[in-house]
C-alpha cells in the first residue's frame, strides 16, 4: 500500500516539552553508544553489530543501575535509534552516504520516531495522542486518511515543534484521464517553461528575504563575537540564543514558502496532464558553478522532480526523463533541423532551414515533449 505523510505543528505544554527534549537526548545517547561499540567491534573482530545484538544490549542497559533512566522515555523511540544506525551503515556500504557520525546535542534540530502500537497514536478532536506525551494540541490543517503507522516528533532551530505522521493509504482515488501531455524546461529566470507556452515565474524566495536575513545574520555574528570575547558559553547567552532563533525562523519561512509553491505546482501538473516530460538535470554538477549556485539551490529543481515522481506514482501518471545531453535548445521543433549551440544571450532565433522564429525556452520544452513521447512509445 502507498504511504502518505502529514506534517503538523504541535503546541506541547512545558512538561511535554521537557519530555520531548529528554527523549531526544536518550535517543541520541543510544545511537552514539552503539556507534562506538560498532567501531570497537569492527577494529577488534572485523565485523560490526546486528539488530539482535543491539536489541539484547538495550534491554540489559535498561536493567542496569547506571542506565536505568532509559526507561523514562518511549521504548520504541530508543529502538528506532539503533534501527537508524543500521540504516546508516547499510547506506554507507551501498556507497550512498558517508560513514555514520556521532550525533551532537549542539545540533539545533533534534527528532525521534515512534511507532503506532495498540492505537497509542491517534487524532482526538484538535489534539493528537502520542506515546508518553498524552494529548498534545496541534494545528489541524487537514484530515488524516488511512492507518497511522509512525510519527516523528521534531524540534526545529526556530524553537518550534512539529510532528510528521506517516499513514498507510489503502488506495488513492484515480484522477480522470485528460489525454494531454506536456514538456517542461526548467530554468532560473522562469522556474518552468511549458510546451504549451506557459511560463511559471521563479518566485526567488531566498532573494526576497536576503536583505532582512543578512541584517539579522550580522546581529547574530556580533553577538557571537561578543560572547567569544567574554569567554561565555553560547548555550548560556540568552541574547545570542534569541537572535539565533530569529534567524532560524526567517530561514524556516523561506523553506515553507518554497515547499508550498512546489507542492501546488506539482499537484496542478499531475491533475492536468497524463504524461509529463522532463530533462534529467545534473543538479550537483551545476551547483559547482559558483556564479549560479545560489540561484540553482533556491529553485530546488530536484525537489520539484521528486514531488512529481511520487505523485505520478500515486495517481498513475507517466513521468518521462530524457537524456541530460539531449540538445533540446538547438533543434527546431517544427522541422527537426539542428542549428547548433547558440549564445545564452540569444533568447529568440530563426531556424536556418524552415525560417520559423523560435523562442529558446519554449522551443526547448516542445523538443523535450517530442523526445519524451518518442521514448514512451519505445517502452514495453
Instruction: Look up 216 and say whether it is catalytic.
Output: no
In a domain, 98, yes or no: yes
Mean pLDDT value across residues 321-330: 87
- Least trusted range by pLDDT, from 73-82, 230-239, 280-289: 280-289
In a domain, 330, yes or no: no
Active-site option among 74, 185, 298, 371 = 185
Tens digit of each residue's pLDDT (9 = 90 or more) over 153-175: 999 999 999 999 999 887 777 78
Tens digit of each residue's pLDDT (9 = 90 or more) over 278-321: 988 777 777 777 777 777 777 888 899 999 998 998 888 999 99
Please state the domain count of the chain.
1
Mean pLDDT value across residues 241-254: 92
Mean pLDDT value across residues 50-65: 93
Q: What is the 3-state secondary structure (H, E, C) of the chain?
A: CCEEEEEEEEECCHHHHHHHHHHHHHHHHHHHHHHHHHHHHHHHHCCCCCHHHHHHHHHHHHHCHHHHHHHHCCHHHHHHHHHHHHHHHHHHHCCCCCCCCCCCCCCCCEEEEEECCCCCCEEECCEEEECCCEEEEECCCCCCCCEEEEEEEEECCCCCEEEEEEEECCCCCCCCCCCCEEEEEECCCEEEEECCCCEEECCCHHHHHHHHHHHHHHHHHHHHHHHHHHCCCHHHCHHHHHHHHHHHHHHHHHHHHHHHHHHHHHHHHHHHCCEEEEECCCHHHHCCCCCCHHHHHHHCHHHHHHHHHHHHHHCCCEEEEECCCCCCCCECCCCCCECCCCCCCCCEEECCCCCCEEEHHHHHHHHHHHHHHHHHHHCC
In a domain, 83, yes or no: yes
pLDDT band at residue 87 under the 50/70/90 scheme: very high
In a domain, 300, yes or no: no
Query: Would you state the pLDDT for residue 183?
Result: 93
In a domain, 47, yes or no: yes
pLDDT above 90 coverage of the chain, percent: 59
In a domain, 337, yes or no: no
Instruction: Look up 361 and say whether it is catalytic.
Output: yes
Instruction: Look up 280 and say whether it is catalytic.
Output: no
In a domain, 220, yes or no: no
Active-site option among 216, 274, 279, 298 = 279
In the predicted structure, residue 142 carries a pLDDT above the cut 90: no
- Least trusted range by pLDDT, from 99-108, 151-160, 225-234, 345-354: 345-354
Give me the chain's average pLDDT, please.
Answer: 90
| Domain range enclosing 83 | 3-168
Query: Would you state the pLDDT for residue 208?
Result: 85
In a domain, 253, yes or no: no
Amino acid at each position: 500500500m502507498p504511504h502518505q505523510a502529514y506534517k503538523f505543528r504541535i503546541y506541547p505544554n512545558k512538561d511535554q516539552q521537557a519530555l520531548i527534549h529528554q527523549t531526544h537526548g536518550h535517543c541520541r545517547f543510544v545511537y552514539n553508544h552503539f556507534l562506538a561499540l560498532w567501531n570497537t567491534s569492527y577494529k577488534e573482530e572485523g565485523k560490526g553489530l546486528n539488530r539482535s545484538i543491539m536489541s539484547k544490549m538495550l534491554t540489559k542497559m535498561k536493567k542496569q543501575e547506571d542506565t536505568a533512566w532509559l526507561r523514562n522515555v518511549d521504548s520504541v523511540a530508543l529502538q528506532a535509534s539503533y534501527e537508524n544506525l543500521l540504516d546508516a551503515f547499510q547506506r554507507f556500504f551501498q556507497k550512498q552516504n558517508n560513514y555514520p557520525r556521532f550525533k551532537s546535542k549542539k545540533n539545533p534540530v533534534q527528532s525521534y520516531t515512534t511507532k503506532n502500537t495498540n492505537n497509542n497514536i491517534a487524532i482526538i478532536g484538535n489534539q493528537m495522542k502520542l506515546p508518553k506525551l498524552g494529548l498534545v494540541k496541534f494545528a489541524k490543517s487537514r484530515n488524516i486518511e488511512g492507518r497511522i503507522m509512525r510519527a516523528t516528533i521534531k524540534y526545529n532551530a526556530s524553537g518550534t515543534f512539529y510532528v510528521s505522521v506517516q499513514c498507510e493509504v489503502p488506495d488513492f482515488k484515480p484522477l480522470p484521464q485528460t489525454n494531454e501531455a506536456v514538456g517542461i524546461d526548467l530554468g532560473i529566470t522562469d522556474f518552468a517553461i511549458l510546451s504549451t507556452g506557459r511560463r511559471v515565474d521563479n518566485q526567488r524566495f531566498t532573494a526576497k528575504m536576503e536583505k532582512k536575513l543578512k541584517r539579522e545574520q550580522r546581529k547574530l555574528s556580533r553577538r557571537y563575537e561578543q560572547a567569544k570575547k567574554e569567554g561565555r558559553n553560547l548555550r548560556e547567552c540568552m541574547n545570542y540564543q534569541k537572535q539565533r532563533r530569529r534567524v532560524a525562523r526567517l530561514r524556516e519561512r523561506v523553506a515553507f514558502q518554497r515547499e508550498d509553491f512546489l507542492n501546488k505546482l506539482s499537484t496542478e501538473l499531475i491533475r492536468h496532464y497524463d504524461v509529463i516530460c522532463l530533462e534529467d538535470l545534473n543538479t550537483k554538477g551545476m551547483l559547482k558553478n559558483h556564479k549560479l549556485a545560489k540561484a540553482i539551490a533556491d529553485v530546488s529543481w530536484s525537489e520539484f522532480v521528486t514531488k512529481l515522481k511520487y505523485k505520478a506514482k500515486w495517481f498513475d501518471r507517466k513521468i518521462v526523463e530524457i537524456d541530460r545531453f539531449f540538445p533540446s535548445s538547438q533543434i527546431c521543433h517544427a522541422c527537426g533541423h539542428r542549428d547548433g549551440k547558440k549564445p545564452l544571450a540569444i533568447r529568440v532565433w530563426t531556424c536556418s532551414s524552415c525560417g520559423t522564429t523560435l523562442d529558446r525556452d519554449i522551443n526547448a520544452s516542445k523538443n523535450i515533449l517530442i523526445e519524451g513521447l518518442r521514448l514512451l512509445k519505445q517502452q514495453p
